[in-house]
Chain A
């Protein structure tokens, strides 16, 4: 049996090839007639005003990203635990119970301060 990651590598090569061909297809077989108006960004018909760099957006999105990191690491940590859970038995459950308990308190706190509220 060959190394399974070789298969993954083959798959990656095939996927990359098809994806790159598809992305560049228009550039190769499509027409190219650029004009100044065509190259403007879409702004409902008006000439676009100013540039986007430095545009402000609500801080909430950033907050969601931070919360995501906290909880996603929790989930990732659960995977190896879930695989060997039957061998760990009640000990494993108690250990993970403490971990999940602390995070649940964290979630309750975040909820209460209103970090999850969008008005």
Chain B
């Protein structure tokens, strides 16, 4: 029974990530159209337009991947064939894997079973996520190198330097979060945010670590290589950067890796700073508002509301990233490196030290 539950949880976590990516494929096109005052993707339909209406979202997010799969797969004659195949696979598997440790709900109570809604309850989830996001660099560097094209090479080199630069700041921001909660388990961090500050405000991480939120969000956006940090694939300079020589489904996989990274950043921000699956004042036995007013809610409904709350928050932060991408111009490479090494890194270090001192000082007062 346990094995079946685990298997279902693994599949659910994977599907949450995959549907987020597919929806983002559509939101990116439609949202950019909205921002730029265009109509955007509206041609995809089933049965050659015989239906009187256009299914919109469903059609477009099915149509884009299907179109990608039906294109010719071209491997340049001079390319390193093996690495050319390996790069997209190595690039996307670790990113897919991260969602196994992201909690998407508290517990699901089914009869005698209490199921923790986190696919892999390893207790070191944050380390796993950091390790897997770092692995994403290999997709970029191998793709850039294997193609044997100048544009790919430049994109790959730029991408590697950018991603490793911002990884340090991202790691430092997360250290401050770990300091605050004293655990590496994302489920425990989400649970700790269910408490109340002064009996009224939900104790979400954003109130404890506002600076870490800013650092993590900027560094995360730079990690996902999207505008304003899209130098590795800058269209106007490098054609398509490290995936210039890719076509068909392999190119689609590289595009999907971008969207998975957006989803990962959104999941991290949600879980660390905005309570994860927490709905304010909602506990396992219903709402308990400050002031003593209580509303009973059945346990299953509570779990459902938590999952929906998690998905909504996740989607909101994905949308913020898409909004930023279509609003800001690309930065110069020296500005990118300055921001990473000279601003975010010292700021992250200072944040860690200040957090540590504050924790000890407050402990001193309470003991």
Are A and B genuine complex partners?
A: yes
Chain B 87-101 per-residue mask, 1 if CB under 8 angstroms from chain A, else 0? 011001100110011
Any A CB within 8 A of the CB of B43: no
With contacts A30-B248, A90-B360 known, is A12 near B97, CB below 8 A? yes
Q: Is A41's CB under 8 angstroms from B69's CB?
A: no
Which residue from B126, B182, B252, B356 sits with its C-beta under 8 Å from A96? B356
Residues from 69 to 119 in A contacting B, C-beta threshold 8 Å: 71-72, 75-76, 78-79, 82-86, 89-90, 92-93, 96-97, 100, 104, 107, 111, 116-119
Overall SS of chain B's interface: helix
Beyond the given pairs A4-B122, A82-B178, 14 more chain A to chain B contacts, judged by CB atoms under 8 angstroms and listed by A's residue number, are A8-B120, A14-B14, A19-B92, A30-B69, A30-B70, A34-B74, A41-B76, A41-B149, A42-B245, A55-B150, A86-B359, A89-B363, A111-B341, A116-B338
B161 touches A65 (CB 8 A): yes
Tell me the nearest residue of chain A to B73, going by C-beta: A26
* Interface 9-mer from B165-173, B220-228, B286-294, B310-318: B165-173
Nearest to A41 among chain B residues (CB) is B149
Which 4 A-B pairs have CB atoms at the shortest separation, nearest pair first? A26-B248, A118-B334, A15-B96, A75-B171
Instruction: Say yes or no: A65 contacts B93, CB within 8 Å.
Output: no
Bound-state Cα–Cα, A2 to B356, Å:
36
Closest to A24 in B: B249
Interface residues on B, range: 35 or more
* Complex contacts, A42 vs chain B, CB 8 Å: 149, 151, 239, 244-245
Q: Which residues of A contact B96 (CB under 8 A)?
A: 15, 18-19
Contact residues in B for A25 (Cβ distance below 8 Å): 69, 248-249
| Contact of B148 with A by CB under 8 A | yes
**Minimum Cβ distance to chain B for residue A20 (Å):** 6
- Given known pairs A79-B184, A86-B359, A116-B342, the reply for A11 and B245 (CB within 8 Å) is no
Contact of A39 (CB < 8 Å), options: B74, B183, B346:
B74
A15 to B338, CA, bound (A): 36
Inter-chain contacts of A32 with B (CB < 8 A): 72-73
Residues of B within 8 A of A97 (CB): 353
Residues of A within 8 A of B148 (CB): 41, 51-53
B234 at the interface (CB under 8 A from A): no
Beta-carbon contacts of B130-160 to A below 8 Å, as 1s and 0s?
Answer: 0000000000000000011111111001101
- B344 shortest CB reach to chain A, Å: 11
- Pairwise interchain contact A2-B2, C-beta atoms closer than 8 A: yes
Asked if B13 is at the interface of the complex by the 8 Å CB criterion, the answer is yes
A26 CB contacts on chain B under 8 angstroms: 68-73, 247-250
Residues of B within 8 A of A57 (CB): 153-154, 157
